[in-house]
């Protein structure tokens, strides 16, 4: 079992090394097998560990030893890390398999490079969730940032991709700094890095060190999970190929913040203010992102903002202490968001990489299979019964509602509004892209090629999971909660009995979200409500939303441009002061050398004369000394 736990990490690592080192010129078929194969192998390892009921912290060797400070290399297998591993390797495996078809137009070198990066991504994320101590956690944390940088900048010949990759990296490094400082505060205060003893040493009551550590870790969490105010990298990350978007948004990366709060739940339970901050940031981000998604025209950007919004729900849940509700939404979101991205990827693939929804239309008739799966994902995202999104979202909102305090009611209200907005923008995306008759601008006017089986089957599997996944957790009267029960050994939560009012709230949310979804039909298909008139009426709000609340502009003014000016100034000073100094040294050396070289006359006999004169003087000196 100990070897098996390590094998979860070794499979993707071996795959990445193989593809990176040995397979640049190797066969395409081999790449297509190894790339997804190692992720599936890791998935099998996780299943065996799960079946074996393993629940243990495996320590392999001492990793760092310096005086009394020592860090073991340990892998923590418990229900939380296994849960995360199932999502990462299961959904991740489907996505990497899908990429075999999606990336088929790449050259052989790029093809191998892509799967190498994907395996590194999965590996980093697995390290992040399996790490048994804070130091190892930071390794995974930074590895995820690195691999996202590599994948977002995959088309490195496109300037926009490089800029987006750099932006993601910088934002993530801000978070990494927070993480490292947080781990440092925990170590300085409690002298522990391994989770078990560390959580044991944490005080149960609030305190300065606890709050500080919780806030610093939260900085790492919000950067990785694209929450306010470190969210601006996520929409730009759409520059990467679509399977990358699916992997970042569904199985890995953005869920890291949610995992972090759940893993450190002992810390957050103690730190009252930091814990409330998690909920507030999550709720505000959920509403914020959903409102921006209303006006986006790029289909992947709509999905990106919906991811931010759904991660906001998860933050909201873990912020109010409903950890397993947050993790259930994480699971459900992994299903339907991977599904949405991959179904959208089929469409983008068929329409020659056009991502503008206004150029779509007519897809219901031309790409029926992709359309049906996209509809399943959309309804789940909108929180319509019976799809998994309904159950997980209601789980989150229900927990918030039944908390019964000011924080609970306020985040519920925000979550409720977000759910309505989600119904609306999801409906807009669906009706415009798929249901509407084909737009005149559509790149491919006639018959569209439906995606090949290797791309359709993963989407179909996810569509099935999205449809039946809600059965995991039906918290009505006489219901059950398999996810809660599974995670209880780690999180130690009690069931909160639903209050009667909660059913009313749930029903209200469902009905309004469904109405919003339907309202979008009236706007964009039937035209009974005039979109342009409404837009003109709300011109001010629309402009703010189209500029994404001016966050990019603000960061540009506040950070990018001043730094740019500083860099230019430094460049000028470098040229005028340092460069000139260095050049002067060279000039003077050269000048003195050329005057010295005049002594080299080229006349052999003059050299001999100098030599003989020198010898005579030296001999004279010796004799003179001998006499004296």
Smallest separation (angstroms) from another protein to the CB of 621: 17
Q: How many CA atoms lie within 13 A of 489 on its CB side?
A: 12
Choice between 569 and 621, CB closer to another protein: 621
Dihedral sign (CA 383, 388, 393, 399): positive
- Residue 354: strand, helix, or coil: coil
Distance CA 357, CA 374 (A): 14
Choice between 406 and 596, CB closer to another protein: 596
Smallest separation (angstroms) from another protein to the CB of 594: 8
Smallest separation (angstroms) from another protein to the CB of 604: 5
Choice between 68 and 600, CB closer to another protein: 600
Smallest separation (angstroms) from another protein to the CB of 586: 19
Choice between 68 and 599, CB closer to another protein: 599
Q: What are the DSSP calls for 220-287, one per residue?
A: HHHHHTT-TTS-THHHHGGGS-HHHHHIIIIISGGGHHHHHHHHTHHHHHH-HHHHHHHHHHHHHHHH
Distance CA 563, CA 466 (A): 46
In our burial notation (b when 16+ CB lie closer than 10 A, e otherwise), range 553-565 reads eebeeeeeeeeee
Choice between 51 and 604, CB closer to another protein: 604
Q: What is the dihedral of CA 325, 327, 328, 330, to 10 degrees?
A: 130
- Give the residue among 194, 181, 192 at the shortest CA–CA distance from 73: 194
Smallest separation (angstroms) from another protein to the CB of 592: 12
- Give the residue among 164, 16, 37 at the shortest CA–CA distance from 99: 37
Angle at 569 between CA 564 and CA 571, to 5 degrees: 95
- Give the residue among 126, 223, 87 at the shortest CA–CA distance from 167: 223
Smallest separation (angstroms) from another protein to the CB of 584: 23
Distance CA 234, CA 220 (A): 15
Choice between 68 and 594, CB closer to another protein: 594
Choice between 528 and 627, CB closer to another protein: 627
Smallest separation (angstroms) from another protein to the CB of 626: 12
Distance CA 333, CA 474 (A): 17
Smallest separation (angstroms) from another protein to the CB of 143: 59
CB atoms inside a 10 Å sphere around CB 208: 9
Choice between 2 and 606, CB closer to another protein: 606
Is the link from the previous residue into 32 a cis peptide, with omega within 30 of 0?
no
**Contacting positions for another protein (CB under 8 A):** 594, 596-605, 608-609, 612
Choice between 528 and 597, CB closer to another protein: 597
The two tokens of residue 339 are 């599904």
Choice between 446 and 628, CB closer to another protein: 628
Smallest separation (angstroms) from another protein to the CB of 612: 5
Smallest separation (angstroms) from another protein to the CB of 591: 13
């Amino acid at each position: 079992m100990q070897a098996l736990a390590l094998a979860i990490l070794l499979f993707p690592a071996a795959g990445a090394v193989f593809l990176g080192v040995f397979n640049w010129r190797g066969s395409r078929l081999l790449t297509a097998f190894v790339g997804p194969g190692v992720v599936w192998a890791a998935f099998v390892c996780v299943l065996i560990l799960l079946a074996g009921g393993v629940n243990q912290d495996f320590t392999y060797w001492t990793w760092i030893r310096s005086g009394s400070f020592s860090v073991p290399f340990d892998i923590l297998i418990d229900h939380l890390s296994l849960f995360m591993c199932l999502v990462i390797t299961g959904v991740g495996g489907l996505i990497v398999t899908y990429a075999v078809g999606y990336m088929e137009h790449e050259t052989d070198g790029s093809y191998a490079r892509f799967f190498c990066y994907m395996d590194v991504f999965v590996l980093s994320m697995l390290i992040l969730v399996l790490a048994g101590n804070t130091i190892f956690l930071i390794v995974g944390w930074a590895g995820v940032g690195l691999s996202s940088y590599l994948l977002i900048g995959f088309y490195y010949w496109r300037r926009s991709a490089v800029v987006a990759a750099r932006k993601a990296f910088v934002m993530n490094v801000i978070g990494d700094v927070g993480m490292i400082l947080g781990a440092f505060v925990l170590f300085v205060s409690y002298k522990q890095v391994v989770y078990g003893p560390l959580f044991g040493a944490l005080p149960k009551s609030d305190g300065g060190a606890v709050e500080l550590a919780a806030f610093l870790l939260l900085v790492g969490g919000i950067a990785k999970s694209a929450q306010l105010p470190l969210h601006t990298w996520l929409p730009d990350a759409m520059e990467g190929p679509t399977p990358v978007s699916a992997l970042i948004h569904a199985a890995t990366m953005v869920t890291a913040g949610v995992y972090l709060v759940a893993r450190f739940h002992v810390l957050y339970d103690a730190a009252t203010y930091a814990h409330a901050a998690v909920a507030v940031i999550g709720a505000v981000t959920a509403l914020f992102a959903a409102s921006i998604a209303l006006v986006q025209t790029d289909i992947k950007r709509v999905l990106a903002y919906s991811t931010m919004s759904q991660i906001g729900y998860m933050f909201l849940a873990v912020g109010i202490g409903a950890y397993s509700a947050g993790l259930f939404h994480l699971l459900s979101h992994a299903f339907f968001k991977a599904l949405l991205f991959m179904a959208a990827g089929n469409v983008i693939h068929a329409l020659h990489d056009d991502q503008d929804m206004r150029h779509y239309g007519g897809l219901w008739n031309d790409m029926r299979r992709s359309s049906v799966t996209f509809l399943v994902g959309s309804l789940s995202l909108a929180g319509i019964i019976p799809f998994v999104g309904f159950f997980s979202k209601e789980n989150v909102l229900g927990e918030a509602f039944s908390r019964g305090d000011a924080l609970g009611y306020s985040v519920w209200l925000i979550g409720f509004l977000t759910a309505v907005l989600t119904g609306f923008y999801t409906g807009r995306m669906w009706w415009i892209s798929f249901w509407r008759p084909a737009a005149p601008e559509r790149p491919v006017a006639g018959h569209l090629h439906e995606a090949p089986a290797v791309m359709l089957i993963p989407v179909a599997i996810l569509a099935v999971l999205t449809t039946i996944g809600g059965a995991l957790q039906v918290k009505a009267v006489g219901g059950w909660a398999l996810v809660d029960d599974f995670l209880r050994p780690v999180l130690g939560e009690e069931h909160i009995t639903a209050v009667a009012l909660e059913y009313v709230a749930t029903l209200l949310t469902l009905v309004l979200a469904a109405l919003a979804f339907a309202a979008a039909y009236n706007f964009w298909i039937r035209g009974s409500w005039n979109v342009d008139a409404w837009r003109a009426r709300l011109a001010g709000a629309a402009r703010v939303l189209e500029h994404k609340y001016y966050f990019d502009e603000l960061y540009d003014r506040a950070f990018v441009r001043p730094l740019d000016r500083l860099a230019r100034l430094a460049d000028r000073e470098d040229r005028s002061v340092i460069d000139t100094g260095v050049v002067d040294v060279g000039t003077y050396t050269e000048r003195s050398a050329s005057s010295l070289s005049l002594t080299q006359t080229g006349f052999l006999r003059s050299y001999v004369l100098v030599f003989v004169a020198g010898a005579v003087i030296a001999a004279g000196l010796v004799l003179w000394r001998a006499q004296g």
